[in-house]
Amino acid sequence: MATCTEALAEFALGQKFEALPQSVLEKAKLLILDGIGLALAAAREDFAGKTLKALQVFGQGSEATVVGVKEKLPVTSAPLLNGMLIHAFDFDDTHHPLVIHNTSVVMPAALATSEWLGLSGKDFITACAVGFEVSLRVARGPRVHAMHGRGYHPTAVCGVFGGAAAARRRRGGFWD
């Protein structure tokens, strides 16, 4: 019998754009559009420029776009700023039963790796859809209110699994 991690990895790697239900594709596209709009709005804020300068210190490279910013960042840094921009005003999507903001964690990871690897738009949308689903499945495990009561937020604790699933879909699998 597969472990939970193996089952999630198998699910993530097995999804194809053509096999995703239309409702899933529409929701993923809506979340992506929402994330882009939120990032564009926040990119004009003072913290965005300061964070960009701080992240440029951590490494050279220009593989990944930061939404609303001219400069590119290394693929390892761009997701951080994109996630900050998407979540900056706290208007990003919320899955209310699980209290998780999926887009601010999943989309930045999918965007950076898709751009870095030269993947198609369909691959990017699929990676986002898979990442959204994985983080929600992980968030279903713990009792949300108990997690909050201990000072943790499902977006950070569970969202990273979705971000990892989205980023690793086209890199040869999870285990290489």
Looking at residue 173, its pLDDT comes to 46
Looking at residue 170, its pLDDT comes to 61
Looking at residue 175, its pLDDT comes to 37
Strands (E), the chain: 64-65, 72-73
Q: What is the CATH number of the domain that holds 98?
A: 1.10.4100.10
- The pLDDT profile of the chain, 176 residues, written as one tens digit per residue, is 889 889 988 999 899 999 999 999 999 999 999 999 999 999 999 999 999 999 998 888 899 999 999 999 999 999 999 999 999 999 999 998 888 999 999 999 999 999 999 999 999 999 999 999 999 999 998 887 788 889 999 999 999 999 999 998 765 544 34
Looking at residue 172, its pLDDT comes to 52
Look at the chain and report how many structural domains it folds into: 1
**C-alpha to C-alpha distance for 174 and 151, rounded to whole angstroms:** 30
CB 144 within 8 A of CB 99: yes
In a domain, 175, yes or no: no
- Answer whether 0.85 is exceeded by the pTM: yes
In a domain, 118, yes or no: yes
Strands (E), 40-137: 64-65, 72-73
Tokens representing residue 49 in the block: 């420029």
**C-alpha to C-alpha distance for 69 and 67, rounded to whole angstroms:** 6
Quote the domain boundaries for residue 120.
4-168
**C-alpha to C-alpha distance for 119 and 114, rounded to whole angstroms:** 5
In a domain, 174, yes or no: no
In a domain, 28, yes or no: yes
